[in-house]
Amino acid sequence: MYKQMSLVVLLMSFSTLAFSEEYIVEQKGKVFSVKQLSIKVGDTVSFPNNDPFYHNVFSYSGTKKFDLGSYKKGDTRKVTFNKPGVIEVECAIHPKMHMTINVE
């Protein structure tokens, strides 16, 4: 029974990874390139910094908490979203920067 359950979990994990997508949300001019983004469970969002100064992308949302730390122009940080829900994303350095990610 345990072997069958393990196989089912493995196949479910593989199918999620096989169909996952990567989205890009740029940071330029002290704003995110989109205000809202709809993605699916298992998808990844890349946050490239295209500004000449540091950004720090984070979320305290219950669905997905993360803090990408401060990073400079030309660097990119990524986050994979594994649960459905609404995630409010902000920049710790520039408080007017915010966006919403809807994970379905």
The response to whether 94 counts as a known ligand-binding position is yes
pLDDT band at residue 19 under the 50/70/90 scheme? confident
- Give the pLDDT confidence score for residue 18 in this predicted structure: 60
pLDDT band at residue 17 under the 50/70/90 scheme? low
Residue 12 lies in a domain: no
| Domain with 89 in it | 20-103
pLDDT at 75 over 80: yes
What token pair was written down for 21? 């997508």
Residue 11 lies in a domain: no
Residue 7 lies in a domain: no
Contact 24, 56 (CB under 8 A): no
Element (H, E) at 37: strand 36-39
pLDDT at 8 over 90: no
Residue 8 lies in a domain: no
* Mean pLDDT (whole number) for 40-59: 98
The response to whether 98 counts as a known ligand-binding position is no
Residue 54 lies in a domain: yes
Contact 86, 59 (CB under 8 A): no
79-100 pLDDT, tens digit per residue, is 999 999 999 999 999 999 999 9
CATH number of the domain that residue 89 is part of: 2.60.40.420
Contact 94, 78 (CB under 8 A): no
pLDDT at 53 over 70: yes
Dihedral of the alpha carbons of 81, 87, 69, 82, in degrees to the nearest 10: -10
d(CA 44, CA 92) in angstroms, rounded, equals 21
* Number of domains, the chain: 1
Residue 5 lies in a domain: no
DSSP state of 19: T
The response to whether 1 counts as a known ligand-binding position is no
